């Protein structure tokens, strides 16, 4: 109990310091612009609007420090509703305010690459890993409804990936690649949701083998995973006659591509095969088809999360990608639940994306051919068939033994 009180006090103090620093930075940025110091030559009206918007997001955060939060059930209904609304509002607000302020501050750095610039960006990257912890504990973790938790988890992941820490380019190429890629957002998301999920009462995923898994099945899954990774990245078949044709040409070794492939394996798996899957399994406990429904639900969300790719690729390519992601997501979930080795779907996913990115030299898909659609149908059937096998018969009992706390 004493440990918990010390932790809560530390978080409250951290949040309070960060809260006043945010308001101070907004005030400094505003005053500098009013005094004629340009912010990336932005018009005064835009600067004023941005600063006022950030203040509106930030100021209500002080109510999170209300000592009566724990006794909100004794409050009036409208007070409880306001407190709950503020949990959502502040979670979203801080996810916008923190990276925006850091990006604005970076705009004042010299345009050329300097040691000072690199030091500042290094500190920003390191702090970005933990800067959401206070709001995670004081707001995100206080959300009680299943729908609210799932929705906010998705929005948090989306905002982390969407808002850059800096638009400045005067940094070392490696630091710039770390900043421009999504890897830091992925690690930050893992750290934040690990703490939040623990507060919600969930155990973190295990990265060790389940001793009750059959060795023959494990060997089959290893071989199948390797074959899938190889043909996904290097397969160039355009007809059945070329089905075994492989091209090992590497078209790009961009660090940003590599890091973005790694990000997908980390963030998307942590979100869909841990956060969302566990929340659904908990909500469906004691149901007959608990595992099946939870896997389908989390995989459907994983599939729909690829729809925004419409902004950079064709409709046909996006639909194909979404269907492929749905069947692959079900397979990933089944492998994890059967083996209890969370590293497996993470490594499987990251390897597929990294190799696909460097062999194609891009992160988007080309317009699919009729042969691509046929391959998709066959691949999806295979994925779903293996998943159904892992979740049936004695294997299903193994899954239940692996996760008794979720039953």
**SS3 for 22-53, per residue?**
HHHHHHHHHHHHHCCCCCCCCCHHHHHHHHHH
State the residue for tokens 């407190």: 83
CA dihedral 203, 204, 209, 212 (to 10 degrees): 20
Give the pLDDT of residue 42.
Answer: 59
**Residues 238, 369: contact at Cβ < 8 Å?**
yes
For residue 202, give the nearest of 9, 328, 342 by alpha carbon.
342
DSSP alpha helix (H) spans, 235-391 = 255-263, 269, 277-283, 290-304, 315-339, 343-360, 370-390
Give the pLDDT of residue 69.
Answer: 61
Give the pLDDT of residue 369.
Answer: 94
Per-residue pLDDT tens digits for 161-215 = 998 888 888 899 999 999 988 999 999 999 999 999 999 999 999 888 888 889 9
pLDDT in tens, the chain (407 residues): 557 778 888 898 998 898 888 888 888 777 776 666 555 555 556 666 777 787 787 777 777 766 556 555 666 777 778 888 888 988 998 999 899 888 888 877 888 888 999 999 999 999 999 999 999 999 999 999 999 999 999 999 999 999 888 888 889 999 999 998 899 999 999 999 999 999 999 999 988 888 888 999 999 999 999 999 999 999 999 999 999 999 999 999 899 999 999 999 999 999 999 999 999 999 999 888 999 999 999 999 999 999 999 999 999 999 999 999 999 999 999 999 999 999 999 999 999 999 999 999 999 898 999 999 999 999 999 999 999 999 999 999 999 999 998 87
For residue 327, give the nearest of 264, 383, 280 by alpha carbon.
383
Give the pLDDT of residue 31.
Answer: 76
Query: What's the full length of the chain, in residues?
Result: 407
> Long-range contacts made by residues 227-234, C-beta under 8 angstroms, separation at least 24?
228/348, 228/352, 229/348, 229/351, 229/352, 229/355, 232/352, 232/355, 232/356, 233/352, 233/355, 233/356, 233/359, 234/355, 234/359
User: Rounded to whole angstroms, what are the CA distances from 238 to 145, 200, 228, 320?
Assistant: 48, 49, 17, 16
Give the pLDDT of residue 29.
Answer: 75
Give the pLDDT of residue 52.
Answer: 78
Cα diameter, the chain: 73
Give the pLDDT of residue 51.
Answer: 72
Taking each helix axis from N to C terminus, what angle separates 2-34 and 77-106, rounded to the nearest 10 degrees?
A: 60
Spatial separation of the C-alpha atoms in residues 103 and 105, rounded to whole Å: 5
């Amino acid at each position: 109990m004493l440990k918990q009180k010390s932790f809560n006090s530390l978080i409250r103090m951290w949040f309070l310091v960060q809260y006043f620093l945010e308001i101070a930075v907004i005030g400094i940025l505003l005053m500098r612009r009013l005094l004629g110091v340009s912010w990336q030559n932005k018009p005064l009206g835009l600067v004023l609007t941005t600063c006022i918007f950030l203040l509106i997001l930030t100021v209500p955060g002080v109510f999170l420090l209300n000592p009566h939060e724990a006794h909100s059930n004794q409050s009036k209904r409208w007070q409880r509703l306001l407190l709950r609304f503020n949990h959502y509002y502040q979670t979203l607000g801080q996810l916008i305010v923190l990276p925006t302020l850091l990006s604005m501050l970076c705009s004042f750095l010299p345009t050329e690459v300097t040691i000072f610039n690199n030091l500042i960006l290094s500190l920003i990257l390191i702090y970005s890993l933990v800067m959401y912890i206070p709001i995670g504990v004081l707001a995100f973790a206080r959300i009680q409804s299943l729908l609210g938790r799932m929705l906010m988890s998705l929005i948090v992941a989306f905002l982390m990936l969407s808002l850059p820490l800096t638009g400045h380019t005067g940094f070392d190429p490696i630091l710039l690649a770390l900043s421009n890629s999504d890897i830091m957002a992925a690690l930050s998301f893992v750290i934040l949701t690990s703490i939040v999920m623990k507060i919600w009462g969930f155990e973190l995923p295990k990265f060790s083998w389940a001793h009750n898994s059959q060795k023959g099945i494990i060997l089959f899954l290893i071989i199948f995973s390797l074959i899938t990774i190889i043909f996904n990245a290097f397969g160039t078949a355009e007809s059945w006659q070329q089905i075994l044709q492989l091209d090992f040409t590497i078209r790009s070794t961009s660090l940003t591509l590599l890091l973005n492939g790694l990000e997908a394996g980390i963030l998307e798996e942590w979100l869909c095969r841990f956060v969302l899957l566990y929340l659904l399994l908990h909500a469906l406990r004691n149901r007959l088809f608990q595992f099946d429904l939870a896997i389908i639900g989390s995989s459907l969300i994983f599939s729909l999360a690829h729809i925004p790719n419409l902004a950079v690729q064709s409709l046909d390519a996006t639909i194909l990608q979404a269907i492929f992601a749905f069947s692959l997501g079900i397979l990933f979930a089944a492998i994890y639940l059967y083996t209890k080795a969370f590293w497996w779907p993470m490594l499987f996913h990251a390897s597929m994306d990294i190799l696909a990115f460097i062999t194609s030299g891009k992160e988007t898909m080309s317009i699919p051919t009729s042969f691509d659609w046929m391959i998709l149908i066959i691949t999806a059937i295979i994925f779903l068939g293996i998943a159904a096998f892992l979740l049936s018969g004695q294997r299903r009992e193994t899954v239940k033994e692996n996760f008794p706390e979720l039953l």
